[in-house]
Every structure is written in C-alpha cells, then in structure tokens.
Amino acid sequence: MILVTGGAGFIGSNLVAGLEENGAGAIAVCDRKGAGGDGRNIAKRQLAASIEPEALFPFLEQHRSEMRAVFHLGATSSTMETDAGLFARNNYRLSLDLWHWCAREEVRFIYASSAATYGGGEMGFDDDGSGEALAALRPLNLYGRSKHLFDRKVAALIANDTPRPPQWVGLKFFNVFGPNEYHKGNQKSVVATAYPAAARSEPVRLFKSHDPRYADGGQLRDFIWVGDCVAVMLWLLAHDEVNGLYNVGTGQARSFDDLAGALFAALEREPEIEYIDMPEAIRERYQYFTEARMARLRSAGYEEPFTSLEDGVASYVRDYLNRKDPYR
C-alpha cells in the first residue's frame, strides 16, 4: 500500500492519479473531508482508503505490514497565514512524527518541501541539503520557514546518523501549475486565475513590478507543469536507492508576461494584459525571481525532459480548463 497525505489536494491528487495509471497497487489518501474541491479532485480514483488526519497514525499502525511508501504532501500552504502554531503542528511536528514512524517501520518516505525555503533567492537556488548550506537560507514567510525548519531537522538527523527511513527524499517544488488546483483560491497558479478572463477575451491582470530591476510582468519564476512533478515522484518510487533533498523545477525562469502569452496562444487570441498594483501586504515578501538548479536531480539519474511553459499551458487549457469536467 502507498499512502499519500494531502492526497485530495493539488499535487497530491495528481500523484494519486499517476500512481493509479501506473498500476502501483493499493493507494490510501489522508486529507480533510471535502478537501480538494469537495472531493472532486479524487472522485475518479479507486482508493483503498480515505482517512482524516486525526486517524492517520492508527491507520498506519493497522496497516504497517502492508505499507510500502508514504508520500507526505499534506501541509498548511498559505503564504498569507499568520498562525505560527498551525504551521508548527501541521508542517513540522507531523512531518517529524511521520519520519520517525517510517524509520521505525522501514517504510520509504518522500515529502514535499518548497522553493519558498529559498526566500528572496539571495543565496541562490542550490538544493544543497547539508546543514551548513541550509542554515544560510532566509525564507520570507511562515510557510517557507516551517518547510525550511523540517529540512534542517532532517539534515541534522542524517548528520547524527540517527535511524532513518530506508528511502528518504525531500522535494523543493517550484511554481507548479495544472489541473486540480481550482480549490486553492488566491493560491492558484496565474494560469488558472487568468483563464476565465482570457477565455472571455478580456484583459489578464498581472502585478506591476515594485523592483526597478524588473519590468511590469517581467518578474521571473520557474513554472513547472504538475505532470512533471508526478513523473519525478514516480521515478523516485522506482529508484529506492535515491535519497536526499532535490529541487523540482525546470531549471529555466520565465516571466509572467511569457505565461500570459502562452495562455492567450493556447486560446488562439492576441495577448491583452493589464498591470495592477501589488498588494502592499505582500510587497516585502514577494519573490521576483526563482530558478531551480537541477544538476543534483540529474546527477541522481533523472533523465526525462521537462515540459516547456508553452506546451504545459496548452495542455492545461486544451485537456482541462476548456472542458466541462476540468478535473484529472
């Protein structure tokens, strides 16, 4: 059995679909009732079990002999949340408890970190998992800090040679877009947010730049198609010898103007963009540039190409957003 925490969420539900399509066997999901668009993200899946977070550890104990791997993707992920205790419980303590359980029961453990751990990018975007390298990073918000805190704890556990899962991998996901993100509100990708206006031939709104180094719409992000994230996780499942902390991006930063252009091209419309002021509440914590350094994952043996921004957006529009049923 494979357990996916956050399995009704965006990346989690895409992983569950990928596991099912690849014949991975019994799949269990741990998530809140009604999560993921009132359950629509996983409505098409044949699950062995769907459990609430409060039942997670009793479920693991009950199925300990069957458990092959835990993909821990569940988290409090809002970059605007201000409850530090919530992040501590959901993103740090739970992750650590799962680590120890998987170490004790010899179950593989693959967890979601985040590119938010890099903060403003002053120290670059190198996925060096050593304690020294991680100590230099300065995340900009509580979400990034909570993910970073767990990455640093893992580095300390490994350095001290404490018991560990037979395979352990942390994945620093960059700017992911794709189907099943519709429930995320203002945390949705710009593609999903801008699609309704673009489909109505109305202007797409992008934030103005408040950094003189970047033009309006020229802010740069490493946008990655969710199918590529799933491909990386399925590859890791097939390669239990791979351990460590890895970036999951394309390695190529693209502008928000590029993203909007790809959206209009997929709709066969001329681009029309309106630039609006960035809310003051996020200006000081805004990432103007992200670009994953992918050499470490490539050196580990991952060879599949990453989907271009244009192809990913076109697939998203054609196969999901333009359809009556946009769910994977």
**Residues annotated catalytic, as ranges:** 143, 184
CB 177 within 8 A of CB 312: yes
| One-letter amino acid for residue 302 of the chain | Y
Instruction: For residue 29, list its beta bridge partners.
Output: 4, 50
Q: First CA to last CA across the chain, in angstroms?
A: 22
With a CB cutoff of 8 Å and minimum separation 6, the contacts of 114 are 77, 143, 144, 147, 172, 173
Residue 3 tokens read as 């357990």
CB atoms within 10 A of CB 118: 27
